[in-house]
Amino acid sequence: GSARRISRPVSLVRFFLAGSLIFQATLRESRLALAGEADSMAPIGSTFSAAAELLAPGQIAPSVTRPLHAPAGPINRPTIPLDQYRAAKAAAAGSASTQGATREAIGAGAPAAVLVFDFAGSSEGENGIDFIPPDVDSAVGPSQILQPTNSSIDVWNRNGVRVSSMSENVFVGNSSDSLGDGRALYDSLYNKWIVLIADFTNVSGSGNPLYYLAVSESSDAAGAYLVFSPNIVLPPGQGLDFPQLGIDQDALLITANTFNNATGAFTGAIVFAIPKAQAYNGQQYNVPVFRVLPSFGTLAPPVVEDNNGKDFFVAIPNVSKSALVKKFTMTEAGRSNVTFTGPLSIAVPAYQEPPPDADQTCTGSDAALRVDTSDGRFQNRSYQYGQFLWQTHTVNQAGRPLPVFYEFNTTSNNTVQRGFFSASATSFDFNPHIAADLSGNAIVTWTATDPTASEDAMVMFAGHTSTALPGVMVPGPVIAGSETCLVHNFDPNFGDQRWGDYSAVNLDPATAGTFWVSNERVTGDAAHDTDFWATSHAKVSP
């Protein structure tokens, strides 16, 4: 994020000392990068769980009723103080006079990405729970799609027929706590479904932050699950937010942001790896937890699509203009001799962060009707093949939010390619995710609003083929549009409409070269206060 700070006089001695330390740190990091090395970190705690409980679908009573349109409250916090976040957003909106001035031509003349099939997903209010925003993720198997949202766990077959739907509370056997931020993956190697859910009970209290980890007993996403309810040993009074889920051949890779519950201060991202051998058999585990400095921001885990023994985690530092991506490396994930090293730097352009918020057709002069576009973090998992890693995030480009994607080389620590993608030259574009396959094909999904074209939030996708020019991501047709503006998701902490914190792209394990995307839209009639979030799924190819 960015914020305007009041400058204070400092002594020349302090000034030159600070400059010397920065220079030494930069020089040291450069030497480490050339040597392909970095500092090894010591664990700051551990996460542990007793043996899992086997739960069949709907095994407990329905969860307690929650108020309609429950505010996000202290959950879903940016990694800079809220006052600085709001000031940075206001400053970004103030730069709108230059909007469109430097937007690049995207995919001109290239064949459009292909929309094969789409269907409506989950929607607000399912199973008696009306949490906002939805936070859309999904996992895709050979015959089913599993989707966690802040309301529910839903399963469809790949023809769009819903197989099951239940609240997250019912899913994990907890009838009282506030749950959310669900993430999911399908492990095609073992035919298992993995679901990660945050328990926000401790966000405003004290004690160990909790999460739930569930692993399917079989290849049926709607079947029984082994459910772990772990603790994390961290300093007292810290809460957990924004968990992310990755995977390699041996372990489940988990990151999360931690906050001081009393002050709201971001205390850094944590990372740990749980052995598949224990998780998939419901056995108890106790594994080390590592933490990176708060200045590095949110840490994204990888989906490792080969047998690489190194897992690469990346973050965008919390500065107003970041020209570096920070890379961390985990080796021997899920084993007793696991190591976590970093950071090393990968140079990227110095984009202004965070991105400005997005206008809707109803915004006019009412800033409260703008849609929050989050900060510049990597919002969901990376995709890793050998030394190559794919990621995406949203930046402030010429006064508008605009996503950019990257392919990094983690051996040489440089950017192989990067490129923007957008719905049009007048659109506001945000909330992206990317997936790539071993051949170098990639798909992105994102959200776009375009008031100039009378379009509210649209579910978008674009594709990059292995034979395309570097940096080119060609849009496909709109997957789904919105019926109205979003007007009821106002959060006073953010000062605008709260959008979901992430979206999802998955490789199709049944058909090589195809992908599935899941993202958010708005349904209903704003004139009668019935505008709700909804989701869409689509099978696509680049």
Q: What is the mean pLDDT of residues 333-346?
A: 96
CB-hemisphere CA count at 13 Å for 122?
Answer: 32
Task: Over range 522-532, report the average pLDDT.
Answer: 86
Judge whether residue 55 has pLDDT over 60: yes
Greater confidence, 2 or 143? 143
The span from the CA of 130 to the CA of 125, in Å, is: 4
Give the whole-number percent of the chain exceeding pLDDT 90.
Answer: 66
Cα torsion at 279, 284, 287, 289 (round to 10°)? 90
Rounded average pLDDT over 421-434: 96
pLDDT at position 107 over 90: no
Give me the percent of the chain exceeding a pLDDT of 70.
84
Does the pLDDT of residue 155 top 80, yes or no? yes
Mean pLDDT of the 373-378 span: 93
Give me the mean pLDDT over the 35-64 stretch. 76
- Residue 5: the pLDDT is 22
Place 95 in a pLDDT band, splitting at 50, 70 and 90: low
For residues 466 and 422, give the distance between their C-alpha atoms in angstroms, rounded to a whole number.
20
| pLDDT for residue 532 | 92
488: β partners? none
Q: With beta carbons less than 8 A apart as the criterion, state whether 403 and 432 touch.
A: yes
The yes-or-no verdict on residue 541 having pLDDT over 50 is yes
Above 70 in pLDDT, residue 392?
Answer: yes
In this prediction, residue 280 carries a pLDDT of 98
Which pLDDT belongs to residue 494?
83
Contacts of 348 (CB under 8 A, 6+ apart): 322, 323, 324, 325, 406, 415, 418
C-beta of residue 429 within 8 angstroms of C-beta of residue 423: yes
Which pLDDT does position 130 carry in this prediction? 78
Tokens of 231: 């603790």
pLDDT score of 247: 98
Q: Which runs of E-coded beta strand occur in 316-386?
A: 321-331, 339-352, 382-385
Q: Which of 28-42, 146-160, 421-435 has the lowest mean pLDDT?
A: 28-42
- Average of pLDDT values for 218-240? 90
pLDDT grade, residue 208 (50/70/90)? Answer: low
Is it the case that residue 260 has pLDDT exceeding 50? Answer: yes
In this structure, of 76-90, 210-224, 341-355, the range with the lowest mean pLDDT score is: 76-90
**Whether the predicted pLDDT of 12 surpasses 60:** no
Question: If we measure between CA atoms, which residue out of 362, 359, 361 comes closest to residue 371?
Answer: 359
Whether the pLDDT of residue 236 is over 90: the answer is: no
Closest of 320, 203, 333, 319 to residue 257, by C-alpha? 203
- The continuous run of DSSP H or E covering 35 comes out as helix 12-35
Q: Residue holding tokens 């330390």? A: 21
Q: What phi and psi, each to the nearest 5 degrees, are found at residue 6?
A: -80, 125
Peptide bond into 133 cis (omega under 30): yes
Decide if 403 contacts 475 (C-beta within 8 A): no
Name the band, by pLDDT with cuts 50, 70 and 90, for residue 43: very high
User: Running DSSP on this structure, what letter comes out for residue 133?
Assistant: S
Give mean pLDDT, residues 244-250: 98
Closest CA to 188 of 43, 305, 293, 105: 305
Give pLDDT tens digits for 435-492. Answer: 999 999 999 999 999 999 999 999 999 999 999 999 999 999 999 999 999 998 888 8
**pLDDT score of 364 more than 90:** yes
> What rounded mean pLDDT belongs to the chain?
85
The answer to which of 71-85, 269-283, 303-317, 426-440 has the lowest mean pLDDT is 71-85
Reported as half-sphere exposure (CB side, CA atoms, 13 A), residue 60 has a value of: 16
In this prediction, residues 272-277 reach a mean pLDDT of: 98
pLDDT band of 94, cuts 50, 70, 90 = low
**Residue 20 — pLDDT band, cuts 50, 70, 90?**
very low
Please return the burial class of 6, using the count of CB atoms within 10 Å of its CB with bins 0-12, 13-18 and 19+: exposed
With contact defined as beta carbons under 8 Å apart, do 458 and 445 qualify?
A: no
Q: Is the pLDDT of residue 388 over 80?
A: yes
Mean pLDDT of all residues in 188-196: 97
Long-range (24+ apart) CB contacts under 8 A made by 314-319 are: 314/346, 314/378, 314/382, 314/389, 314/391, 314/408, 315/269, 315/343, 315/377, 315/378, 316/353, 316/376, 316/377, 316/378, 316/393, 318/1, 318/79, 318/80, 318/266, 318/294, 319/2, 319/295, 319/353
pLDDT of residue 58: 62
CA distance 252 to 299: 15
Does pLDDT of 6 surpass 70?
no
> Which residues, in sequence order, are bridge partners of residue 480?
459
- pTM comes to 0.90
Instruction: Say whether pLDDT at 98 is over 60.
Output: no
Listed residue (460, 487, 309) closest to 394, CA to CA: 460
Give pLDDT, residue 109. 56
17-21, 96-100, 124-128: least confident range: 17-21
